[in-house]
Amino acid sequence: MYEDKTLVCRDCGAEFVFTAGEQEFYAEKGFQNEPTRCKECRNARKANRANAPRESFETTCAACGAPTTVPFIPKSDRPIYCSECFANHRQG
């Protein structure tokens, strides 16, 4: 059903094989696009993302008023909680 395909990495330009087994796995997962990077470039990209510092934003807890930091841009239409109040709010 599936046959090995030779693709070209968009980052380094090297050829790599998209195996029949990988194609079957992609189909099972519902992935519609073929990989565009070789295994080495995918691993390097993942490592760079994992080591990149996350952007954080200062805000005030809606429950206790303590200053807190969140990894997203706070919006005024939703309450933001510090870690402790978030845990309490989640339980109750």
**Which structural domain range is residue 12 located in?**
5-51
Q: Is residue 10 domain-shared with residue 29, that is, in the same domain?
A: yes
Q: Is residue 41 domain-shared with residue 76, that is, in the same domain?
A: no
Q: Is residue 35 domain-shared with residue 61, that is, in the same domain?
A: no
pLDDT of residue 58: 94
Per-residue pLDDT of the chain (92 residues; tens, 9 = 90+): 899 999 999 999 999 999 999 999 999 999 999 999 999 999 999 998 888 788 899 999 999 999 999 989 998 889 999 999 999 988 87
Amino acid sitting at position 72: F
Token readout for 13 is 């330009």
Nearest to 11 by CA among 48, 66, 52: 48
Q: What does pTM read for this prediction?
A: 0.56
